[in-house]
Structure 1
C-alpha cells in the first residue's frame, strides 16, 4: 500500500473539519497522526506546514499543533469571500444545466438522508460540501478547491460561535437555490445563495467588538475580582 502523502493527510484533516469532527482548539498530536496514517512524523510535519499555510492550524511552542480558532473578523472575511466567489460561479449558469441540476438534487437527497438518520458528521460534511459540489458541477475545479478551504473556515466559525442555523433550514435553502437554477432564473438563484450565506453568518453569536485596550482592561478587572471564600 502506498504511504499517505502530506497532501492526503492535510485533506483528511480538512474533511474532518467540514464534518465537524475536529473543532477549533483541538490538538493534533504528531505521533498520533503518524500512527494513524502509518507514516513518519516528518511526513506529518509536512502536512501540518501545508495546513498552516492554508490557515487551518497553528503551532504553539512546546505544546504542538492545534486547529485554529478564527476571530470574528476572520470569520466575516471568509463569509464575504464565499459570497463573492459563489455568486460569481452562478454567472455562467446559462449553459445547459440538466446534468448539473440532476447531480445537485442527488447531493440534496444525500443531505436529507443524513438529516433523517441523525448522522451528524455526514450531515455537516454534506451541507458544507454542497457549495463545493456546485462549483465542481459548474466546471470550476480551481474555485472548488478554494471554496473547500473557505467553507471549512466558515465551518470552524460556526462551531466556535455556536451557529443556530439548523441543518434542515440549510437543506431547504439549498433546494430553493437549485429550483431557481432549474427554472432558469439565475438572478434569483444568486440572490438566494447570497441570502443563504448571510443567514448562516448572522446565526453566529459573535461577541461585540471592543478595542484591545478595553478587552485587556476587562480581563484584568475580572482577574482582580475578590475570590468568594467559604466560611
Structure 2
C-alpha cells in the first residue's frame, strides 16, 4: 500500500513531466483506487502538497492543481533565481563526484532529447536544478527547488512557454562546464541567464497581464469555411454501451498521468 509520501512524490513527478495540467482535478477516490490505499492517506498526501503550494482545495469542489497567476509566476522565478544563484555563490569547491553525477544527469537529458518520451524529457530538464542543489550539498534547498521547479513547470504549461528543450539542455551543459573549471562566478552568471531566458519565453499573455486574454481567445468568432470547402457531417452520438465503457474507464484516468 502506498504511503502519503509516495503519492505526493508521484504527483510532483507527474507535474514536472507535464503530465498533469494546471487546474487539473485530483479526485480522492480515484487516487485511492489507483494507489490501493485509503482516502485518508490520499487526503494526507494532498494536504502536504497544498502546504507546499502545488495543489489547492475547495470545500465543495475538491482538490485541484494550482493555476499560478502572473504575479505568482514572477515570484516563483524570482525565488528560483535567489536560491540557485545563492547556492552557487556560497559554494567553494565542487567535488569530482558531484561533477560526475551532474554529467550523468546531462547524459540522461541528451538521451531523452533524442527519444520520444516528452514527459521524461520535461522531468529531467526540471530535475537538473534539484540534482545541482543535491550535488552542491544542500538537501533542504534541493527540496525547495523541487517544489519551485514544479510550480514553474505549471507556469510554462499555463502560459505556453516557447523555450526550447535543446536550448535548456545546452544551458545546463555550460553551467556544469563552468563548475568543473572552478569558475563559480561564470556558473552563477550562466544560471541567472538561464532562468531569465526560461522566464522570458512565457507567452505574451503572461506579459500583458490581461485577465480576459484566455477567455477572449476562446470566445472569438470561429473561422467560416470557404464555399468550396466540403462540409464534414457531425459524428453520431455515442451509444449507451460506449458511454458506459467511457464512464468505467474514467475511474482510472489518473493512472496514465501518474
Give your verdict on TM over 0.5.
yes
Which residues of structure 1 form unaligned runs of 5+?
226-231
Which residues of structure 2 form unaligned runs of 5+?
221-258
Give the distance between the partners of 2:94 and 2:171, measured in 1 at CA. 22
Structure 1 residue ranges (4+ consecutive) displaced by more than 3 angstroms after TM superposition: none
Task: Determine helix, strand or coil for the equivalent of 1:58.
Answer: strand
State the Cα RMSD in Å. Answer: 2.1
Which of residues 143, 146, 163 in structure 2 aligns to 1:145?
Answer: 143
TM-score, normalised by the number of residues in structure 2: 0.79
Which of residues 16, 41, 48 in structure 1 aligns to 2:46?
Answer: 48
Q: How does 1:19-58 map to 2 (within 5 A)?
A: 19-58=17-56
Q: CA deviation at 1:102?
A: 1.3
Tell me if 1:130 matches 2:115. no
Quote the residue 1:186 is aligned against.
184
Q: Is the 8 A contact 2:93 2:182 kept in 1?
A: no
CA displacement, residues 140-197 of structure 1 (integer Å, 9 cap, x when unaligned): 0111001100111001101111110111000000001011111211100000001000
Q: Is the 8 A contact 1:93 1:181 kept in 2?
A: no
Give the distance between the partners of 2:94 and 2:146, measured in 1 at CA. 25
Q: CA deviation at 1:51?
A: 1.1
CA displacement, residues 99-130 of structure 1 (integer Å, 9 cap, x when unaligned): 11111111000001011012101100000000
Bigger Cα Rg:
2
Question: Cα–Cα, structure 1 residues 18 and 96, in superposed 2: closer, same or farther, change >3 Å?
Answer: closer
Quote the residue 1:75 is aligned against.
73
